């Protein structure tokens, strides 16, 4: 029997910055067996700094200059936790996050970038925009562009900070906004721009020629440059910001962009890490923290104590490879290798007219060719995160301890101590009286015992599936929503649930971490629904899988059955379709990360409020849309009710990206089986080329509810569903008697 490689170490990357993007790519090509890699980062993509000014200038599309961290994490077989780290517990070795349970690690690496050091009162607002985080800058920039496109008036903008970033951003903003003024018929004079610089020159540290040339270009483009003056005071009422400078200059602005000296978040120092006087993590040349050997850092957030370097994307990129090597060395117990950053580096600074200036010590010059060169370098860099190479080799050196032997004689059960520790850590139901749970997890026995009130019936269901996300906390939530949907579809109230878990082979501490994340997610959803986890069974296997057997209570004659549809009724669907095709596409690296974010957001939405809403609006039949797709589940209703339905295909809501992936022929593995049900569509041949036709067969995970209700209630119900947050809910079909259409399902 082959021994599966168990998880023996956890390595966590905080922040999806440039260095970590490179680490992930290299890890994907050459992983360390037995090491579980987890990326905790705020969003599923991250901007590449080299193309940022070009994006602001309007030269690049968004997808050209963002690294898709979902796809990258998938390539690296890494878990992806989308969250903001807010602290570190260096005693317990845990990362504290804003919206999820703490994440344990053996080794952690931090690449979270920096923020501009803002003067007092320069709080971010609609008119006061820090250049970092870049993600937020770009989101705000899109709002600025929209406003200026739509409203013709005088706009006064100030950029504070005259380093490379400030100068390049000023030129990019000026270029794009002048283009907008021109294309919307507004006068050039509608834009007034100022660049405020504390130092006496722009681009300090660069050759005088470069400084003069930029001063000249800015003047030619109408940007007023104020050097040798520092912003002393900022007044911001949200809509406008007024800046007052030492020189007496006062600018009342529509927008102020802060591209000032970099600052660090405060939770690193608070965690006890050695940081410099600006709060950046002090690291050796090996990129290891000077105070905590289990911590590494790279990019802007790291301060190399032996060889300090400026905060620049070029260093974050260069540190990627040595960081990867030293993380692997640390995991393997090998000596770390020092990284010697170059003293000078080539600056290729775009001038936003498809030309660039090169600056490196005494080397300088300007040409259109330089821009084309820079553009090629940047595009080649980004291509590395789209076209993944094959895995080159598997580092066969054992990461740590010898792999334990696995036998199945014990039923592959997870040890009781692991289970006990996890159950002690997950929260208990806060407001529950638990009167109906006679024996549950608070006093575990061989089985749970529940009391069923005499006026209620017990509604039971079970679901179980392999993980479809690389985040067990999210998977736990999705699974619980999916399982509870059957209870909601019956018009029942959730009561309790039993869990069945398959955990990947791992050392006990690693098993505990997975189970903790998974059950924390499931329990969060169960508790929100008013249900208790009362027991379960855990086992080990090759991959994570999870299921719940849920109990609900209902009044017998208020059950919503599939057989309750009546002619004249309307069918409302509460969620958009497309999870099957989107996750199939993700496996092939054929999605954009926001499509998957949207699909996960939809799967995380509970059907509970929708079910109550349907009951309040006279629904007589309901089902939840899951593995058999809309067509399969609808067919069950149609057959049980002995009616026909007419589906308006144009109304079927699709998740973002689902129509594109279906059009590319990307189908979930269950799709062909679901397609068998399409033979019950009377006129399928006529519609089989309709772009939404394939959506009917797409299997869903944690899909929406489909309910039949009287025509006269439909509008009110729809409005109520939208108010409850089911924005994609939609009437999709009407019920007719079988005699009218003579077939089960008709497309119109
Ligand atoms: C306008 C402008 C222009 C610039 N132009 C250049 C240039 O031309 N060349 C150059 O070399 N440099 C340039 N820079 C500097 C460059 O942007 C930074 O040096 C570079 O982005 C640093 O990369 P990083 O990997 O350290 O962090 P970042 O690129 O900032 O990445 C940090 C990542 O971590 C995530 N994150 C942050 N906080 C958390 C948290 N608490 N929890 C989880 N995730 C988190 C973020 O979402 C992000 O994905 C420019 C900067 C600006 C503002």
Q: Which atom of ligand 1 is nearest to the CA of 19?
A: 25
Write out the E strands in 123-229.
128-130, 155-160, 191-197, 223-227
**Average model confidence (pLDDT) across the chain:** 92
User: In this predicted structure, what is the pLDDT of residue 437?
Assistant: 85
CA 164 to centroid of ligand 1, rounded, Å: 14
Going by their DSSP bridges, the two strands 35-41 and 79-82 should be labelled as parallel
Question: Could you tell me if 608 and 641 lie in one domain?
Answer: yes
CA 114 to centroid of ligand 1, rounded, Å: 6
Residue with the smallest CA separation from ligand 1 atom 50 is 165
Longest dimension (CA), the chain: 89
**pLDDT above 60 (res 35):** yes
Among all chains, which residue has been given the structure tokens 């602005």?
Answer: 253
Q: Which atom of ligand 1 is nearest to the CA of 48?
A: 29
The dihedrals phi and psi of 708, each to the nearest 5 degrees, come to -105, 130
SS3 13: strand
User: In this predicted structure, what is the pLDDT of residue 431?
Assistant: 53
> Which of the listed residues 112, 260, 304 should we mutate to test ligand 1's pocket, taking the one with most ligand atoms within 8 A of CB?
112
**pLDDT above 50 (res 156):** yes
User: In this predicted structure, what is the pLDDT of residue 133?
Assistant: 86
CA 283 to centroid of ligand 1, rounded, Å: 18
Residue with the smallest CA separation from ligand 1 atom 27 is 113
Other C-beta atoms lying within 10 Å of the C-beta of residue 215: 19
Question: Could you tell me if 530 and 613 lie in one domain?
Answer: no
CB-based contact 640:517 (threshold 8 Å) = no
> Which of the listed residues 12, 14, 15 should we mutate to test ligand 1's pocket, taking the one with most ligand atoms within 8 A of CB?
15
Between CA 25 and CA 41 the distance in angstroms is 16
Bigger pLDDT: 227 vs 262: 227
| Residue 3 covered by a domain | no
Question: Could you tell me if 258 and 268 lie in one domain?
Answer: no
The pTM of the whole model exceeds 0.75? yes
Question: Could you tell me if 374 and 305 lie in one domain?
Answer: yes
| pLDDT per position as a tens digit, 94-137 | 999 999 999 999 999 999 999 887 776 677 888 999 998 888 89
User: In this predicted structure, what is the pLDDT of residue 434?
Assistant: 63
Question: Could you tell me if 636 and 712 lie in one domain?
Answer: yes
| Residue 398 covered by a domain | no
Q: Which of 410, 613, 697, 717 is an active site residue?
A: 410
Going by their DSSP bridges, the two strands 643-647 and 545-554 should be labelled as unpaired
| Residue 397 covered by a domain | no
Q: At what angle do helices 579-587 and 593-603 cross, to 10 degrees?
A: 140
Instruction: Count structural domains, the chain.
Output: 4
Residue with the smallest CA separation from ligand 1 atom 16 is 313
CA 315 to centroid of ligand 1, rounded, Å: 11
Residue with the smallest CA separation from ligand 1 atom 37 is 112
CB-based contact 273:125 (threshold 8 Å) = no
User: In this predicted structure, what is the pLDDT of residue 433?
Assistant: 47
**pLDDT above 70 (res 3):** no
Q: Which atom of ligand 1 is nearest to the CA of 133?
A: 30
CA 604 to centroid of ligand 1, rounded, Å: 30
169 pLDDT tier (thresholds 50, 70, 90): very high
| pLDDT per position as a tens digit, 232-253 | 999 988 789 999 999 999 999 9
Lowest-pLDDT range, 168-172, 196-200, 312-316, 478-482? 312-316
Among all chains, which residue has been given the structure tokens 């957030």?
Answer: 301
Give the domain CATH number at 674. 3.90.650.10
Residue with the smallest CA separation from ligand 1 atom 29 is 17
| Residue 4 covered by a domain | no
Q: Which atom of ligand 1 is nearest to the CA of 131?
A: 53
**Average pLDDT, stretch 38-59?**
95
416 pLDDT tier (thresholds 50, 70, 90): confident
Report which secondary-structure segment, H or E, holds 255.
Answer: strand 255-258
Residue with the smallest CA separation from ligand 1 atom 2 is 165
Lowest-pLDDT range, 335-339, 383-387, 430-434, 641-645? 430-434
Boundary-marking domain end, from 228, 262, 296? 262
* Alpha carbons within 13 A on the beta-carbon side of 656: 12
Torsion (CA) 439, 443, 444, 447 in degrees, nearest 10: -10
**Average pLDDT, stretch 460-488?**
96
| Residue 399 covered by a domain | no
Lowest-pLDDT range, 210-214, 673-677, 727-731? 673-677
| Residue 457 covered by a domain | yes
Q: At what angle do helices 320-332 and 18-29 cross, to 10 degrees?
A: 60
Residue with the smallest CA separation from ligand 1 atom 7 is 50
Q: Which residues line ligand 1 at a C-beta cut-off of 6 Å?
A: 14-19, 40-43, 46, 49-50, 52-53, 84-85, 111-113, 131-135, 164-165, 168-169, 259, 299-301, 311-314, 316
**pLDDT above 50 (res 267):** yes
CA 302 to centroid of ligand 1, rounded, Å: 12
Lowest-pLDDT range, 203-212, 218-227, 365-374, 672-681? 672-681
Residue with the smallest CA separation from ligand 1 atom 51 is 165
Boundary-marking domain end, from 262, 280, 305? 262
**Average pLDDT, stretch 12-21?**
98
Lowest-pLDDT range, 131-135, 367-371, 651-655? 131-135
Question: Could you tell me if 552 and 573 lie in one domain?
Answer: no
Question: Could you tell me if 498 and 548 lie in one domain?
Answer: yes
Q: Name the residue range of residue 23's domain.
A: 9-113+264-344+357-383
**Average pLDDT, stretch 192-211?**
95
Question: Could you tell me if 233 and 280 lie in one domain?
Answer: no
Q: Which atom of ligand 1 is nearest to the CA of 259?
A: 53
Question: Could you tell me if 241 and 147 lie in one domain?
Answer: yes
User: In this predicted structure, what is the pLDDT of residue 342?
Assistant: 84
SS3 604: coil
Q: What percent of the chain has pLDDT over 90?
A: 80
Boundary-marking domain end, from 542, 557, 572? 557
**pLDDT above 90 (res 73):** yes
Between CA 701 and CA 528 the distance in angstroms is 19
Give the domain CATH number at 51. 3.50.50.60
CA 499 to centroid of ligand 1, rounded, Å: 42
> Which of the listed residues 17, 40, 46, 341 should we mutate to test ligand 1's pocket, taking the one with most ligand atoms within 8 A of CB?
17
User: In this predicted structure, what is the pLDDT of residue 1?
Assistant: 47
Residue with the smallest CA separation from ligand 1 atom 47 is 42
Q: What DSSP line would sit under 481-530, residue for residue?
A: HHHHHHHHHTT-EEEEEEEEEEEESB-HHHHHHHHHHHHHHHHHHHHHTT
**pLDDT above 50 (res 272):** yes
400 pLDDT tier (thresholds 50, 70, 90): low
| Residue 362 covered by a domain | yes
CA 213 to centroid of ligand 1, rounded, Å: 27
> Which of the listed residues 67, 160, 313 should we mutate to test ligand 1's pocket, taking the one with most ligand atoms within 8 A of CB?
313
Between CA 598 and CA 578 the distance in angstroms is 10
CA 732 to centroid of ligand 1, rounded, Å: 45
- The Cα angle at residue 139 between residues 137 and 143, in degrees rounded to 5: 110
Residue with the smallest CA separation from ligand 1 atom 1 is 165
Question: Could you tell me if 364 and 451 lie in one domain?
Answer: no
Residue with the smallest CA separation from ligand 1 atom 52 is 165
Question: Could you tell me if 566 and 704 lie in one domain?
Answer: yes
| Residue 392 covered by a domain | no
CA 590 to centroid of ligand 1, rounded, Å: 26
**Average pLDDT, stretch 334-348?**
90
User: In this predicted structure, what is the pLDDT of residue 413?
Assistant: 66
Q: Name every residue whose Cβ is closer than 8 Å to that of residue 168 and which is 6 or more positions away in sequence.
A: 53, 349, 350, 352
**pLDDT above 70 (res 527):** yes
Give the domain CATH number at 552. 3.30.1330.10
194 pLDDT tier (thresholds 50, 70, 90): very high
No. of H helices and E strands in the chain? 22, 37
Question: Could you tell me if 572 and 700 lie in one domain?
Answer: yes
Burial 35-49 (b: 16+ CB within 10 A, else e): bbbbbbbbbbbbbbb
User: In this predicted structure, what is the pLDDT of residue 118?
Assistant: 77
CA 221 to centroid of ligand 1, rounded, Å: 27
Is 410 in the active site? yes
């Amino acid at each position: 029997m082959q021994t599966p490689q168990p998880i023996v170490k956890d390595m966590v990357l905080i922040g999806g910055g440039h260095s970590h993007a490179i680490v992930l790519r290299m890890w994907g090509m050459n992983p360390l067996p037995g090491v579980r890699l987890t990326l905790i980062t705020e969003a599923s993509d991250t901007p590449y700094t080299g193309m940022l000014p070009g994006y602001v200038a309007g030269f690049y599309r968004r997808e050209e200059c963002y690294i898709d961290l979902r796809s990258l994490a998938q390539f690296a077989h890494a878990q992806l936790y989308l969250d903001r780290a807010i602290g570190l517990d260096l005693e317990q070795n845990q990362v504290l996050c804003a919206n999820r349970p703490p994440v344990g690690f053996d080794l952690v690496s931090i690449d979270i970038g920096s923020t501009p050091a803002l003067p007092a009162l320069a709080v971010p607002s609609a008119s006061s925009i820090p250049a970092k985080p870049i993600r937020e800058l770009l989101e705000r920039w899109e709002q600025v562009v929209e406003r200026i496109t739509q409203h013709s008036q005088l706009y006064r903008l100030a950029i504070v900070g005259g380093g490379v970033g400030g100068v390049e951003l000023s030129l990019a903003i000026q270029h794009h906004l002048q283009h907008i003024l021109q294309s919307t018929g507004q006068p050039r004079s509608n834009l007034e721009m100022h660049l405020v610089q504390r130092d006496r020159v722009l681009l300090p540290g660069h050759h005088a020629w470069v400084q003069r040339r930029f001063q000249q270009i800015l003047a030619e483009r109408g940007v007023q440059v104020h050097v040798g003056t520092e912003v002393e005071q900022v007044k911001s009422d949200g809509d406008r910001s007024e800046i007052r400078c030492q020189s007496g200059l006062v600018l009342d602005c529509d927008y102020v962009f802060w591209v000032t000296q970099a600052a660090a978040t405060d939770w690193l120092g608070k965690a006890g890490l050695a940081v410099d006087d600006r709060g950046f993590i002090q690291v050796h040349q090996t990129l290891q923290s000077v105070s905590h050997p289990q911590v590494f850092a790279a990019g802007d957030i790291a301060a190399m104590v032996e060889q300090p370097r400026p905060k620049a994307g070029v260093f974050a990129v260069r540190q990627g490879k040595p960081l990867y090597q030293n993380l692997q060395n640390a995991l393997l117990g090998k000596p770390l290798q020092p990284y010697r950053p170059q003293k000078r580096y080539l600056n290729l600074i775009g001038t936003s007219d498809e030309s660039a200036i090169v600056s490196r010590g005494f080397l300088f010059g300007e040409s259109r060719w330089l821009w084309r060169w820079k553009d090629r370098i940047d595009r080649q860099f980004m291509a590395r995160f789209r076209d993944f190479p094959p895995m080159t080799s598997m580092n066969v050196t054992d990461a740590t301890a010898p792999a334990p032997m696995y036998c199945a004689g014990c039923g592959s059960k997870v040890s009781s101590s692991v289970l006990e520790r996890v159950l002690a850590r997950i929260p208990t139901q806060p407001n529950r009286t638990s009167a109906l749970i006679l024996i549950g997890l608070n006093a575990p026995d061989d089985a749970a015992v529940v009391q069923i009130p005499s006026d209620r019936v017990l509604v039971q269901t079970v679901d179980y599936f392999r993980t479809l996300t690389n985040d067990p906390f999210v998977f736990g939530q999705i699974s619980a929503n999916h399982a509870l949907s059957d209870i909601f579809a019956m018009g029942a109230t959730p009561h309790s649930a039993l869990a069945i878990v398959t955990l990947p082979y791992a050392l006990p501490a690693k098993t505990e971490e997975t189970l903790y994340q998974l059950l924390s997610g499931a329990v969060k959803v169960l508790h929100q629904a008013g249900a208790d986890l009362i027991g379960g069974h855990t086992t080990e296997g090759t991959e994570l899988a999870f299921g719940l057997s849920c109990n609900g209570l209902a009044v017998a004659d208020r059950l919503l059955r599939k057989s309750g549809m009546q002619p004249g009724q309307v069918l409302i669907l509460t969620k958009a379709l497309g999870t099957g095709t989107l996750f199939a596409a993700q496996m092939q690296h054929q999605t954009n990360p926001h499509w998957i974010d949207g699909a996960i957001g939809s799967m995380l939405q509970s059907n509970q409020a929708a079910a109550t809403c349907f009951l309040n609006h006279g629904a007589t039949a309901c089902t939840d849309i899951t593995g058999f797709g809309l067509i399969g589940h609808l067919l069950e209703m149609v057959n049980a009710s002995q009616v026909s339905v007419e589906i308006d295909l144009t109304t079927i809501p699709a998740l973002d990206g689902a129509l594109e992936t279906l059009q590319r022929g990307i189908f979930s593995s269950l799709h062909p089986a679901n397609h068998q049900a399409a033979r019950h569509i009377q006129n399928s041949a006529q519609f089989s080329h309709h772009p939404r036709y394939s959506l009917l067969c797409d299997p869903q995970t944690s899909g929406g509810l489909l309910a039949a209700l009287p025509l006269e209630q439909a509008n009110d119900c729809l409005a109520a569903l939208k108010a409850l947050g089911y924005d994609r809910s939609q009437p999709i079909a009407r019920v007719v008697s079988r005699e009218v259409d003579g077939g089960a399902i008709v497309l119109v």
